[in-house]
DNA sequence: CGCGGATTTGCAAATGAGTTGAAGATGCAA
DNA sequence: TTGCATCTTCAACTCATTTGCAAATCCGCG
C-alpha cells in the first residue's frame, strides 16, 4: 500500500506495475511529482519542473495521460482553462473527490476538505442533483487577494 | 429596461448604446443570440449559428469579448475547457451568479437556481470561504446520461 | 544473466482553437 | 451630409497541445 509522505522508489514502481504500466524513469519522475504536489499540477508546470532532470515535454505529457488512463490520476479543468492532473488518493472516500477553489485574481488553486460544500435541494433544483454531482469547483478571491 | 422573452430590435440597440457600444448588425445578432440562449454559449457554437446569416467568426469573437468587456456578458470555463459566454441578467441578484452543471458524459450544460449549492463551514474549511466564492461549478452525470 | 518483442522515449513536425493586422466599410454625432 | 472613430472581414499568425517515427528501454522468458 502506497502512503503519503513516505514513498520509496519501489513503492512507486509497484504502484505503476499494479496499474499495468512499465516503471520507466520519466514515468516514475512524473508519479513522484504528483505524489509530492498538494494541489493539481498542470502539464506546463510539470514539464518545466522535469526539464532540468532531462525529461522531454512530450514524454511528460504522455505519461500524465497514461497515469490518467490507468486510473491513478485525474485530469481536470478547474474553471481557468488549464488542464491539471491530480493523483487519486485514498483520502477521497467514495471515489468522489474533494472540492477545489481557484482564485480569479492570482490563479492560485487549493484543495478543500470533503464536505465543505453541500448541495441543497430547493423547490426548483433538478431531481437527484446531489447524487449526480461528482465534482465541485469554486472560484473567487483567495485570502491573499481578497 | 430589457426583459427576457420580449426584446425588440430597439431594446437591443439601447442596451448596446447604454454600454457605449455601437449598434452594428453583427453585434446585435450576437446580443440577440445570447438573450435567446438559456445556457452559456461557446464562441464556436455562436460562430456556426451566425455563419448562415453571413457574419464572420472573427467578428463574432470580437463581439463576444466586447460585450464581456462592457460588462454585459461573462466569459467562463465551466470545467470542460470550453469558453462560454452568458449574459448578465437581473435575476442574478448580488452580482453573484447562479451555479452551473456540466455533464461529464454528453457535455450538456445547465444553469441551476441560485441557492441550490451551499458553502458549509467545517473545522478545517478555510476562513470566510463562503464570502470569497463568486462562482460555483458542478460536474457529474445529467439526468439523461445517468 | 542475455534475448526479443512490445512499450516508451525524444525530437521534430502537425494541428487547431484562439487571436491579431490591416484595409475597407459602417455608425453616428455634429 | 460629412468626418472620424469604430467595426468588420479575411487572411495570417500564435502557441499549447498532440502526433509520427526511429531509436532506446523495459521486462518476461529461456
Ligand atoms: Mn485536490
Ligand atoms: Mn447560467
Ligand atoms: Zn489569489
Ligand atoms: Zn449527459
Among A115, A132, A106, A82, residue whose Cα is nearest residue B132: A106
For the domain A9-87, what is the CATH code? Answer: 1.10.10.10
Share the mean pLDDT of chain B.
90
**CATH 1.10.10.10 domain locations along chain A:** 9-87
* Ligand 2 center–CA B92 separation, angstroms: 9
Alpha helices in A25-121 (DSSP H): 25-36, 43-50, 57-69
Percentage of residues in chain B having pLDDT higher than 70: 92
Looking at residue B1, its pLDDT comes to 38
Determine whether the distance from the CB of A26 to the nearest atom of strand C is below 7 Å: yes
* Ligand 1 center–CA B84 separation, angstroms: 24
Looking at residue A96, its pLDDT comes to 65
pLDDT per residue as tens digits for the range A3-61: 455 788 999 999 999 999 999 999 999 999 999 999 999 999 999 999 999 999 999 99
Looking at residue A3, its pLDDT comes to 42
CA of A94 to C1' of C13 (A): 43
User: Is the CB of residue A19 less than 8 Å from the CB of residue A38?
Assistant: no
Kindly indicate the confidence band of residue B93, based on its pLDDT and cuts at 50, 70 and 90. Answer: low
pLDDT per residue as tens digits for the range A133-143: 999 999 999 99
CA of B19 to C1' of C30 (A): 21
CA of A141 to C1' of C21 (A): 36
Q: Which three cell numbers stand for residue B119?
A: 458553502
Kindly indicate the confidence band of residue B48, based on its pLDDT and cuts at 50, 70 and 90. Answer: very high
Percentage of residues in chain B having pLDDT higher than 90: 71
Q: What residues of B are in contact with residue A142 (Cβ under 8 Å)?
A: 132
Helix (H) or strand (E) holding A26: helix A25-36
Q: How far is CA A114 from the centre of its chain?
A: 14
Q: How far apart are CA A11 and CA A29, in angstroms?
A: 13
> pTM of this prediction?
0.90
Q: How far apart are CA B141 and CA A80, in angstroms?
A: 21
Q: How far is B96 from chain A (nearest CA, A)?
A: 10
**B145 in A contact zone (CB under 8 Å):** no
**B141 in A contact zone (CB under 8 Å):** yes
Looking at residue B115, its pLDDT comes to 84
Helix (H) or strand (E) holding A111: strand A109-111
Give CA separation, B36 vs A80, B15, B88, in Å: 26, 15, 13
Amino acid at each position: 500500500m502506497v502512503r503519503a509522505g513516505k514513498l520509496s522508489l519501489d513503492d512507486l514502481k509497484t504502484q505503476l506495475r499494479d496499474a499495468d504500466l512499465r516503471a520507466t524513469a520519466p514515468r516514475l519522475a512524473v508519479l513522484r511529482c504528483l505524489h509530492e504536489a498538494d494541489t493539481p499540477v498542470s502539464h506546463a508546470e510539470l514539464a518545466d519542473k522535469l526539464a532540468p532532470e532531462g525529461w522531454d515535454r512530450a514524454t511528460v505529457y504522455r505519461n500524465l495521460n497514461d497515469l490518467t488512463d490507468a486510473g491513478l490520476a485525474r485530469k481536470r479543468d478547474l474553471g481557468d482553462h488549464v488542464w491539471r492532473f491530480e493523483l487519486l488518493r485514498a483520502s477521497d472516500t467514495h471515489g468522489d473527490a474533494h472540492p477545489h477553489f481557484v482564485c480569479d485574481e492570482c490563479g492560485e488553486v487549493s484543495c478543500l476538505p470533503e464536505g465543505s460544500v453541500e448541495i441543497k435541494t430547493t423547490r426548483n433544483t433538478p431531481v437527484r442533483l446531489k447524487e449526480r454531482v461528482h465534482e465541485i469547483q469554486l472560484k473567487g478571491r483567495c485570502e491573499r487577494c481578497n
